[in-house]
Amino acid sequence: MKLFFSPGVFSVIISYIMNLIKLFKRFIEWRIWFYLILSAAAFNYAGVYADSILDFAPPPDEYSLRFIPDSLILTSSAGLFLTGKIVQNNKPSVTLEEIGSLNSDSVFILDRVFMRDFSEGFNLASGITEYSSLAMPLIPLAGTAFNSNYKQSVSIILEYSEALMYSLGTKNLLKGLVKRFRPYAYYSETGGYFSPSYLVTENPETAMSFPSGHTSAAFTGAVFAGMMFNRYYPDSPLKIPLWITALAAASATGVLRVMSGNHYVTDVVSGAVIGSFFGFIVPCMHDIKYE
C-alpha cells in the first residue's frame, strides 16, 4: 500500500493521465470517433443488462410506423434542419470594430455574473457530457433489439433522428438570426484566450452564442431516452435511474458550457428548453392514434 501511494508512483499516474488527455485533444476535431465508441459502449451496456430490461418488454405491435403522418413529421424536421443550416451559414461575419466595442456592462446582469473567458478543459468536458447524453437513447434501443422487436427499434431510430433535426434546426435558425457575442469575446481585448483577429478570421461562431447547441442536443437525447423508456418499459425499475442519469448528464453539459466561457446562463437555459421540448413532443406526435 505504501508503494502504491508513494509520490513517485503518483506522479507517474498523473503523467500518464495527462498524456492521454493530450492524445485525446489531438483527435478532438474528429469527435465523431468518441461518439461512436461511446455509442458502442452504451449499446453493449444495455445488452449486458438486457435481461432486467426485457422482463418488462412492451406489447410487440402497440407502436408502429404509419406512412403519411410519419412522412410529414420526417420531411418537416428535415426541412427545418436544412433551413436553419442555410440561415446560419449565411450569417454576416463580425468585424474588428465590433469586437473592440464590446462592453460587458451591456450584458444582462444574470449572464454577466457568470460570464468568463474560454477554458479548454471545461470545453472538452462539455463535449464528453454532451455525447454521453446523445448516446442515452441507445439503451432503450438495445432493449428492443435484443428482444427482437425490430419495428420498435426502427421507430426509435426514426423518431430520434426527427427530434434531433427539429432541435438542431431550431438552434441553427436562432444562431443565424440572433447576433450575440460569446462571453470569451469580451476578454479578447484584455489578454483573453483568443485574440480579436482570431475571433474575426478563424472563428465563424463568435457571434452565435444564443442558444447553446451543446445543451439543446444533450437535453434532446436525455428527454428522448426517458420518453422511449417510459413507452416501452413503463414498469421497469430502471426507468427512474435512467431519467436521473440522462438529465444529470444534460444539466452538466449546460453548466460546463457556461464555465467554459462559450455561453451565458440564458443561452443554456434556452437550449435546455428547446432540447427538452423536441425530445418530448416528437414521441408524443408518434403516439397519437390516427384513424
Angle in degrees, 0-180, between the axes of helices 265-287 and 239-259, rounded to the nearest 10: 150
Cis peptide preceding 196, ω within 30 of 0: no
pLDDT bucket at 188, cuts 50 / 70 / 90: confident
Q: Does residue 15 lie in a domain region?
A: no
Q: Does residue 9 lie in a domain region?
A: no
Angle in degrees, 0-180, between the axes of helices 138-146 and 213-232, rounded to the nearest 10: 30
The DSSP H or E segment spanning 175 is helix 150-177
Q: Does residue 222 lie in a domain region?
A: yes
CB under 8 Å to 118, separation ≥6 — which residues? 184, 187, 192, 193, 194, 260, 261, 262
- Number of domains, the chain: 1
Q: Does residue 10 lie in a domain region?
A: no
- The model's pLDDT over 63-122, given as tens digits with 9 standing for 90+, comes to 556 777 788 999 999 999 999 999 999 999 999 999 999 999 999 999 999 999 999 999
Q: Does residue 73 lie in a domain region?
A: yes
What is the rounded CA–CA span in Å between residue 279 and residue 262? 23
Higher pLDDT, 56 or 107: 107
221 and 134 Cβ atoms separated by less than 8 Å: yes
Strand partners, 180: 208
- The model's pLDDT over 109-162, given as tens digits with 9 standing for 90+, comes to 999 999 999 999 999 999 999 999 999 999 999 888 777 778 888 899 999 999
Grid coordinates given for 128: 464528453
Domain that holds residue 49: 30-287
Q: What are the b/e assignments for 226-244, b being 16+ CB within 10 Å?
A: bbbbebbbeebebbeebbe
Higher pLDDT, 256 or 146: 256
Considering only CA atoms, which of 80, 63, 60 is closest in space to residue 72?
Answer: 80
- The distance of Cα 19 from the centroid of its chain, to the nearest Å, equals 26
Q: Does residue 194 lie in a domain region?
A: yes
Q: Does residue 19 lie in a domain region?
A: no
Specify the DSSP class assigned to residue 185.
G
Kindly report the pTM of this predicted structure.
0.80
The DSSP H or E segment spanning 77 is helix 67-89
Higher pLDDT, 242 or 287: 242
Q: Does residue 5 lie in a domain region?
A: no
175 and 90 Cβ atoms separated by less than 8 Å: no
